[in-house]
Amino acid sequence: MKTKRSSRHKHAAVKATALLLVLLARDYCAAQPTTASESTGNVAAGHVAEGKVDTERDQLRKRIFAEAGAGAAQLALQEARASRDAFSDHDLFQIEALVVETEVHWGRQQSLASDEPDRLAQSNTALAHIDEMLARMPASDEFADVRRSVLVEKVTALQGVGRMKEATALYEDLSRSNQPMPARTYAAAGDAYTYIDQPRKAAPAYERALQTPIEPLVPSVEPHALKRIDVQEGLFFAYLDSGRYDNAQQLLKQISASTPIRADLSEHPEDVNEDYGRVKKLQAQYLLYTDRTREGVAALDELRHEAPFDPALISARSDASLVQQRPHEAQKVYEGTLVDHPGDIETLAGLGRTALELGQYDRAADVNATFSDRFPDNNTVKTFQQDYAAYKSPQLIVAGNGQKGNSVLADENWGIDTQLYSMPLAEYWRVFAHQFSGRANTGDGNSVSRIRNGIGADFRFHGIDAAAEVNRSTGGQAKTGGAGSVSYAPDDRWRFSAGVDSNVNTLPWKAYQAGVTGRAATGGVRYSVDDYRYFDLTYGATRYSDTNLNQAWVGTWYERLINTPSHLVATWVELNTSSNTLANTAYFAPHRDMTAQLTAMYQWTSWRNADQSLANRAYATVGGYRQTDIGNSMLWEVRLEQQWQFNAHASLAYGIGLSSQRLDHTRETSKLIYLNLNIPL
């Protein structure tokens, strides 16, 4: 990591030096005046009435205003201050506003050209100049036009140093006027809204940037100049993040139609247009955002044959692997990209995300330290840092459920399982508290309750997740026990898991009422093809304290069938069988039973805002059940569920259900309610 970082810094220094030379040449050797900002629309103050002979004072004013409008505002300001008798205070502030505009522009260029610790130095200098200038400026209406032009530049400066909430607040104040602003100001406001996860406000700002008549976006060969496709890309993601998929698709078609595959201004005509690579990345991102990952991956793989070393395409391909739940594959691609493009920030952030996925927390910490606070303006860095902050936070997981109407198991019952994890200790360790509370009415006028409290430690390291717990149950079956679990994912396809528990919470409620306890061992394996399909096989054995041995096998096949931006259809096919060695028990324990069932789920995502969303789901299950000595019967279940995604790491799901199944000789209909909460604290 150290060698790569050093190489990246050297590369950035060369870029920054080249950029400085270009900007100096532009500032002092400008040969042609350019359209100025709002404040300089009145540079005509340097003109004289038609037919009037220019005095020496008039000629001086015309020359200095021409210099200011041609890009040499700093030089013009120095000359104007040296000739105070020819320039009013308003004139001087007008010219100084152009100096501010240049400083803000230079600040943006420096921040994009370099990843050194001082990459925001020029932007901070420009912002300090703006504040000092506004403090000096008289509050009278005479200076309102200049004041507004300086505040317009302040929006860009605030966004450039990562003060996004201040930038958007100022932009909203300025937007109360009907006066249009430059394209760069609207774009900066859009970037600021995007950074603070407000895509619904970002989209109108980007739209205005593409339409404003004041200093509109024009083609430029200047390094890191704000281009039309930069704004279009921001607008594209704002549409996606706010659920406006049709608008995003329409915009993507417009961008594709206007972007050629070859670089028109390149020294080598065979070079692929850099913007073309970005367009293709957007096309793949659209597929990924709408969960059509297979098509997105295929499109990116085809593009990499045309531009095998384009970091944008490589990074997009790695992102697709992450979406496909293949972090090992993504990590290899990111690592290879950093060798050829050591200064690519998106790639480094992607490497950090895969490290978090794989439990490589030392590596994620290195990436986080590399970024530090040097990129407060970069949305990709912010996303990684949010992921890293979530990893560093305590975590609360709550699962609650209640059921009524199945008297074979219990007339009614409820249970709440709560786990509270500490912050990471030595990166890979956490301690946790685990509490279970439940109660059931067994239908004979009696009820039974169970409480189990435990503490333990959790260890996550490079694909290994392990936990150990010591617990104590209360009540008539009070018992001290222990539990442990371990899982290992050697690659992106396979995951193996095992667990033991000497004081289980999952026995039938009537077993606890009869004074029976149990201990269990489980094992499982999952094979994941991609995010569309996986297969599960699990085995569990539970030894009851009354000598009964319960064994169960469960096989599951998951398949995602239909995906559109707002709609999803998926199915689960499940086969399971269980057996018990003890007959005539006080609890439900058939000698052998088997179940085959199909569950279909329809999901409608009715609202989306960046990482926040509301998903509405309907589940329908139908199947057959066979119980030895009883016979075959049909089972069914329907459920309605909502899930609120508060951010990438916090969610709340709740639902209700109705099911019917024959157990022993009785068919009963039961009602279900449940809630699941997962949130970093």
Q: How many separate domains does the chain show?
A: 1
Ranges of residues in the chain whose predicted pLDDT is under 70: 1-53, 262-272, 303-312
Q: Is residue 593 situated within a structural domain?
A: yes
Strand partners, 522: 499, 540
Strand partners, 431: 457
Find the distance separating the first CA and the last CA of the chain, reported in whole Å. 31
Per the document, the length of the chain is 681
d(CA 240, CA 323): 16
Residues 141, 142, 145, 149: is their CA dihedral positive or negative? negative
- For 370, the 3-state DSSP assignment is helix
Q: Is residue 309 situated within a structural domain?
A: no
Q: Is residue 224 situated within a structural domain?
A: no
For the record, the structure tokens of 567 come out as 């709609």
For the record, the structure tokens of 371 come out as 């970024």
Residue range(s) defining the domain that contains residue 600: 395-680
d(CA 7, CA 25): 28
CA dihedral 44, 45, 51, 56 (to 10 degrees): -120
d(CA 235, CA 540): 51
Q: Is residue 242 situated within a structural domain?
A: no
- pLDDT digits over 514-557, tens only? 999 999 999 999 999 988 899 999 999 999 999 999 999 999 99
For the record, the structure tokens of 252 come out as 């993507």
For the record, the structure tokens of 530 come out as 């991609």
Per residue, the 3-state secondary structure of 170-200, as one string, reads HHHHHHCCCCCCCHHHHHHHHHHHHHCCCHH
Q: Which residue has the tokens 């339409």?
A: 211
Phi (first) and psi of residue 571, to 5 degrees? -135, 155
d(CA 374, CA 222): 24
CB atoms closer than 10 angstroms to residue 156: 29
The H or E element containing residue 356 is: helix 345-357
DSSP state of 140: S
Q: Is residue 369 situated within a structural domain?
A: no
Phi (first) and psi of residue 313, to 5 degrees? -70, -40
- For 631, the 3-state DSSP assignment is strand
Q: Give the residue ranges of DSSP H helices in 161-270.
A: 164-175, 183-195, 199-211, 228-241, 245-257
Q: Where are the beta strands (DSSP E) in 610-649?
A: 612-627, 631-647
- For 398, the 3-state DSSP assignment is strand
Q: Which residue has the tokens 């709002």?
A: 38
Helices (runs of H) and strands (runs of E) counted in the chain: 19, 16
Contacts of residue 671, Cβ cutoff 8 Å, sequence gap at least 6: 403, 404, 405, 656, 657, 658
Q: What is the pLDDT of residue 399?
A: 98
Domain with residue 557: its CATH number is 2.40.160
For the record, the structure tokens of 535 come out as 């297969």
DSSP string, 4-47: HHHHHHHHHHHHHHHHHHHHHHHHHS--S-----GGGGGGGGG-
Closest to 471 measured CA to CA, from 486, 485, 450, 456 = 456
Q: Categorise residue 516: left if φ over 0, alpha if ψ from -120 to 50, beta otherwise.
A: beta
d(CA 377, CA 530): 34
Contacts of residue 516, Cβ cutoff 8 Å, sequence gap at least 6: 477, 507, 544, 545, 546, 586, 587
For the record, the structure tokens of 646 come out as 């508060």
Q: Is residue 108 situated within a structural domain?
A: no
CA geometry: angle at 339 spanning 336 and 344, to 5°?
95
For the record, the structure tokens of 417 come out as 């399982």
For the record, the structure tokens of 125 come out as 């200098």
Q: Is residue 629 situated within a structural domain?
A: yes
CB atoms closer than 10 angstroms to residue 506: 10
CB atoms closer than 10 angstroms to residue 669: 12
Closest to 496 measured CA to CA, from 471, 528, 520 = 528
For the record, the structure tokens of 81 come out as 């201050």
Residue type, 668: E
DSSP string, 274-324: HHHHHHHHHHHHHHHHTT-HHHHHHHHHHHHHH-TT-HHHHHHHHHHHHHT
Q: Is residue 174 situated within a structural domain?
A: no
CB atoms closer than 10 angstroms to residue 146: 26
Closest to 599 measured CA to CA, from 616, 619, 617 = 619
The H or E element containing residue 378 is: none
Cα maximum dimension of the chain: 118
**Cα–Cα distances in Å, from 429 out to 126, 359, 417, 418, 459?**
45, 11, 22, 19, 5
